[in-house]
A and B are shown apart, each in its own frame.
Chain A
């Protein structure tokens, strides 16, 4: 019975110090302990604390410690604390709406990470590098992907010699490690700026350069970042649509078949020109009649009109003005 009274007393004490909780921010009266405060929330406010009355009393007896946490709560530590969502709840109560932004933003990032599971953005790659344990704090501050000042200016080319001691810590982004792993003959290094180098183990010379970021679409490699969403031109959508076996992505005037599991480009299924557009003049390079045999009887060049095929469609061109008048047939 005495024990219960003690527990009740402890709970009452906790409830009676909302001011301390406000000051403490994320601590909610528990003194600002980072993850522990979150545990309190998860288990129903005061219950967790009531189970440990001695700590509550200890905290209450040392208000100066709470004061220390006031200053700590003002720092953006909350945003990188272990339990982001729960610390967000505490902040809402403690600091008002402005303080809520940080945790909400983190929640958004988590959601977006879930969506683009295999295509890290350039920012993600830099963050991965900056969080790497091998990245000195000074370099991490520069936000250049942990690139040493000298190396940032000097990218390697094929045939250049790579000093293993310099590059020993340049690990690949996690998503690429299963595709480019070191072997006896070669090892792979990433310069944190979008370039992957294949280095000959014996000579330490770069024998291959593989651009991971930017507009490089190469079969066998992961599709560049930013192509997570279906973007095939509308006329090809009935032919190339995403399924469990294959995804299709458009870029660099081509449609690529992508493995949904690995994100690697498996083949190039269509090549486009992007040249022809209704209302525009026929560009150079379309002097030659090029319709498929099945359509040649229907669309014959004459004095009034010419017909040219490109990107899945047959275009009608005014023979005199050379202006593209219409798309008269779609073949895909």
Chain B
């Protein structure tokens, strides 16, 4: 009985060592082998349940992008909160949600989505490697510039707008959600 247990412990130790070796590599890549366990639901469903993202959820539904974030392909969404939409100039959010402005709405929302899964530690690691700055391509063709400010990550959009990552990341089965306190405007 002792023998199998010893083998098991040795195996676990070896695995841990391998992980550590990988983790050293990952240290410069930003904690690539994440221990975080994603939720079972998709980004689309998680947003629909979020009390802070009513406007965004509505915008995704109107634009047709909800289907994208409910599919299996991985994306990371920088999700403006309701407070972020409320900061838009007078009539901004209601105007955006009007049916005739769908094209503009899609363009704006695409500027908040990046391909693949990007965790908070991936963001921090990339900024660190880039000596304080990293670039992240969105699926709208724009590039976000990431910097650190205190303990949080700042995003600068192409239109001169910026947003700060707020709250904890949410890992979903098809990607990640990072709540942001501003709306990134397209050029």
Residues of A within 8 A of B (CB): 158, 198, 207-211, 216, 218-220, 239, 253-254, 256-257, 265-273, 275, 283-293, 296-297, 300-303, 306, 308-312, 331-332
Contact = CB atoms under 8 A, between A and B. Distances in A.
Contact of A301 (B26, B67, B99): B26
A291 B117 contact: yes
A289 B38 CA distance: 17
A287 B29 CA distance: 9
B34 A312 contact: no
Given A268-B65, A289-B122, A331-B74, 4 more contacts: A290-B122, A293-B34, A297-B22, A331-B73
B100 interface: yes
A208 B65 CA distance: 21
B103 A216 contact: yes
Interface residues of B, number: 55
B118 A292 contact: no
Contacts of B34: 293, 296
Contacts of A265: 64
Nearest to B99: A220
A288 B99 contact: no
B78 interface: no
Contact of B67 (A207, A267, A293, A310): A267
Which 4 pairs between the two chains have the least Cβ-Cβ distance?
Answer: A285-B137, A290-B116, A208-B100, A219-B64
Contacts of B102: 218-220
B100 to A, nearest CB: 3
B68 A300 contact: no
B76 interface: yes
Given A257-B67, A270-B71, A289 B126 contact: yes
Interface stretch (B1-9, B79-87, B107-115, B162-170): B107-115
Contacts of A211: 103
- Which of A284, A293, A302 counts the most B-chain CB atoms under 10 A from its CB? A293
Contacts of A301: 25-26, 28-29, 32
A309 to B, nearest CB: 4
Contacts of A310: 115-116
B115 A288 contact: no
Q: Which of B115, B123, B134 has the most CB of A within 10 A?
A: B115
Interface of chain A: mostly helix, strand, loop or mixed: loop
Nearest to A216: B103
Contact of A288 (B22, B36, B136): B136
B73 A332 contact: yes
Contacts of B99: 208, 220
Given A271-B113, A273-B137, A288 B74 contact: no
A203 B99 CA distance: 19
A296 B67 contact: no
Interface string B151-187: 0000000000000000000010001000000000000
Nearest to A297: B33
A270 B115 contact: no
Q: Which of B26, B32, B68, B123 has its CB near the most chain A CB atoms (within 10 A)?
A: B32
Contacts of B118: 288-290
Contact of A293 (B115, B117, B138, B141): B117
Contact of B122 (A273, A275, A288, A332): A288
B25 A290 contact: no
B67 A268 contact: yes
B28 A271 contact: no
Q: Which of B34, B118, B123, B139: most chain A Cβ within 10 A?
A: B139
Most buried by B among A207, A268, A303, A312: A268
B6 to A, nearest CB: 25
A83 B116 CA distance: 58
Contacts of A286: 135-137
